[in-house]
Amino acid sequence: MPLNKDVRPEISRFPFCIVWTPIPLLTWFIPIIGHMGIGTSSGVIRDFAGPYFVSEDSMGFGQPTKYWKLSADKVRFSSWDQAVHEASEEYKQRMHNLCCDNCHSHVTYALNLMQYDDSSAWNMVKLWFLMLVYGKYVSFTGFLKTWLPFCIFASIIIVIAVLLYKVNCK
């Protein structure tokens, strides 16, 4: 049976994709920061979800709200699935570090192993920026899950600031 190469968010299948989901509290305050994973050729998501743990088919912070579809034709070394597997095995041996060795690092490790797009210079910043530019929301609900908490928080801060300003101007 041939693999379905289509993205199917309703069943959480994202073949050849990098996926992203909000991290509660952190994304609420800084909406461009979140949790990342990578989909196998069959669409099963692998993500470095914590110390010595790479989850399969169950992202650490919930279903993806954004995805970036890549091309299997741009894999230059190994295979897509082999690189995702090797990266996952490597990250099962690593301690999670929020700033330096995290879910983004796991994805860049896989991309570097496969030499995606003739590059072995993938890093967290490059991946973050490209996901920001090329990532698509899975639905309007995905957009809301990302931005609504931030908008509520920012609105509260603005209302408090205006009220304080008015009180201090009297």
User: pLDDT-derived band of residue 1, with 50, 70 and 90 as boundaries?
Assistant: very low
Please compute the mean of the pLDDT values over residues 97-108 and round it to a whole number.
Answer: 92
Parse the chain into domains and list their residue ranges: 9-169
Digit-coded pLDDT (tens) for 20-57: 999 999 999 999 999 999 999 999 999 999 999 999 99
Assess whether pLDDT exceeds 60 at residue 4: no
What pTM does this model have?
A: 0.89
Q: How far apart are CA 70 and CA 127, in angstroms?
A: 12
- Length of the chain, in residues: 170
**pLDDT of amino acid 37:** 97
Q: How far apart are CA 101 and CA 57, in angstroms?
A: 21
CA distance 16 to 13: 10
Say what the alpha-carbon torsion angle 37, 42, 43, 44 is, to the nearest 10 degrees.
Answer: -60
Q: What is the pLDDT of residue 2?
A: 45
Say if residue 100's pLDDT is above 80.
yes
Strands 53-56 and 34-39: unpaired
